[in-house]
Amino acid sequence: MKIKVVLLFDLVATAIFTSHVFFSRGDEPAFFAGLTILIALSPICLALSSPLVILLSKRAVESENSKVNNTDAFLTLAEVDTVAMPLNRFLTDGDYFVTDLVPEGLSQSVLLSFAATAEQNASHALGKTIYKAAVGRGLRLQSLSASHEVPGRGVEAIVNNTPMWIGNPDWVKKQGVSVSSSLLTKIDQLSVHGKTPLLLGLGKNARGIITLKDAVKLESKEFVSMLKRKNLGTILITASNKKTAKTFAKNFSLDEVKSGLSPEDKAREIQIYRTKGRTIAVVADEFHDLPALVNADVSVFVNDGTKNFLNENSEIKMDFEIPSPEKFLIIRDIAIRAANLIKINRRIAYLSWLVLIPPSLSQIFENPPIYFPPIAAAGGVLIFSAIILANSLRAK
């Protein structure tokens, strides 16, 4: 119940009843009756139901080396029933390495050289890995005229005056690149082993596959298991192709998987889940997942101290920042406890009205059944406020 609404109702009711007493019994009875009603109907107890609980809960979160940027998110976090998370560098360690080079019409070294040429300015870990692999092998890069990184998709470039694409196979095919059946079969075979195949298209034809892989984080597996034990739904949102994503989803026992997503696609999927009545928390640790984070009911950014995710002065703030995924469940338990305490406090506030309002309203009569002066109403509000504050201290 909104504090402002209660206060407005209190003022209107007080004015009406005070006017009635004034015209029927005079100014002095009207003053005392009005003051009693004003105090009894006041939202003081309701206003005290949450601030101390939130303050102590925030301190509890901070004691876990975590940060609260939005205190309003506490109550929403307590209601979260589904957790969405990315794949690369969240469920995996992000330490990529090239596993397979499958050229078609090129040699392996030329395939890698073309890919590294396009990826030499890449910000994504996959592109950086390809470039380092080429440099490590001492390969000479091709002539690069222009390049553009498409988040969640890949890189488009002009190499040796020829348009080139490298990235998600479905995205490359949508650029009008023809892919042979043998390459398509190889992409499927590599994907089911949890590898990430990147297709290279040169001109009108696909010229090969470069496959990368990184290791699964054991702590992330435990994190997902903990989510399952808490009866929370789990969703994988990733730019990886469908088969790779499903392999990881099965490995981690995730409930649902959404693959082949750009950052904007991830945001749209989160919005769809919310319209279906799900309360979604997105737990992520990459800038590419910012659209999904800001569109979630609760945004949780995992920052181990090594990432400069957002500028400190940025207007965009995640609801919570935690040093590791397992802290999510700790702060959720804190949020659930806070929500339960606030619920009890609100019930106490409602009880205060149930106890104080009837005798206060009886003061409008010339011979009230109970004499209930303003000091009695104030004393009642004080007692109930003390009970609420005492209950709030349990948040410690």
pLDDT in tens, 61-120: 999 999 999 998 999 999 999 999 998 778 888 788 999 999 999 999 999 999 999 999
Task: Please indicate, yes or no, if residue 60 is contained in any of the structural domains.
Answer: no
Distance, in Å, from the CA atom of 114 to the CA atom of 201, rounded to the nearest integer, reads: 10
Q: How far apart are CA 69 and CA 396, in angstroms?
A: 19
Q: Residue 251 — very low, low, confident or very high, per pLDDT cuts 50/70/90? A: confident
* 95 vs 327, more confident: 327
| Structure tokens belonging to residue 67 | 């940060």
Residue 311 is predicted with a pLDDT of 47
Q: Taking residues 186-198, report their average pLDDT.
A: 90
What pLDDT is recorded for position 91? 86
Please tell me the distance from the alpha carbon of residue 207 to that of residue 151, in angstroms, as a whole number. 22
User: Of 154, 188, 213, which one is at a domain's C-terminal end?
Assistant: 213
**CA atoms of 221 and 200, how far apart (whole Å):** 32
56 falls within a domain: no
3-class SS of residue 100: strand
Q: Which two tokens stand for residue 329?
A: 């469940």
Residue at 387: amino acid letter: I
Strands of the 320-322 sheet, one edge to the other: 67-68, 320-322, 298-302, 280-284, 82-85, 233-237, 256-258
Do 178 and 157 lie in one domain? The reply is yes
Task: Report yes or no on 62 lying in a domain.
Answer: no
Task: Answer yes or no: are the C-beta atoms of 265 and 247 closer than 8 Å.
Answer: no
Q: Is residue 329 part of a domain?
A: no
DSSP 261: -
Report how far residue 395's alpha carbon sits from residue 242's, in angstroms, rounded to the nearest whole number: 44
* Domain edge (last residue) among 196, 213, 230: 213
State the pTM of this model: 0.79
Selected residue with higher pLDDT from 278 and 27: 278
- Asked whether residue 224 carries a pLDDT value surpassing 50, the answer given is yes
Please give the Cα distance from 99 to 210 (Å, whole number): 8
Cβ–Cβ < 8 Å for 209, 98:
no
Q: In the listed set 151, 185, 213, which residue is the last one of a domain according to the structure?
A: 213
Same domain as 113, residue 38? no
- In our burial notation (b when 16+ CB lie closer than 10 A, e otherwise), range 357-373 reads eebbbbbbeeeeeeebe
Contacts for 246 with CB less than 8 Å, ≥ 6 apart: 257, 259
**Residue 59 domain-assigned (yes or no):** no
61 domain residue, yes or no: no
Do 245 and 298 belong together in one domain? Answer: yes
Q: What is the mean pLDDT of residues 242-268?
A: 90
Closest CA to 3 of 308, 349, 374, 314: 349
Contact criterion met (CB below 8 Å) for 220 and 94: no
User: Is 74 a domain residue?
Assistant: yes
Structural domain contains residue 24 = yes
Query: Is there a single domain that holds both residue 209 and residue 162?
Result: yes
Contact status, residue 216 vs residue 251, Cβ threshold 8 Å:
yes
Weakest mean pLDDT among 24-33, 47-56, 152-161, 382-391: 24-33
Whether 340 shows a pLDDT value over 50: the answer reads yes
Torsion, Cα 168 188 98 171, to 10 degrees, reads -10
Among residues 359, 293, 345, 280, the alpha carbon closest in space to that of 51 is found at 345
Both 79 and 111 in a single domain? no
Residues 184, 261 within the same domain: no
The Cα–Cα gap between 82 and 51 comes to: 27
Spatial CB neighbours of 221, under 8 Å, sequence gap ≥ 6: 91, 252
Q: Does the pLDDT value for residue 152 go beyond 60? A: yes
Residue bearing tokens 């042979």: 180
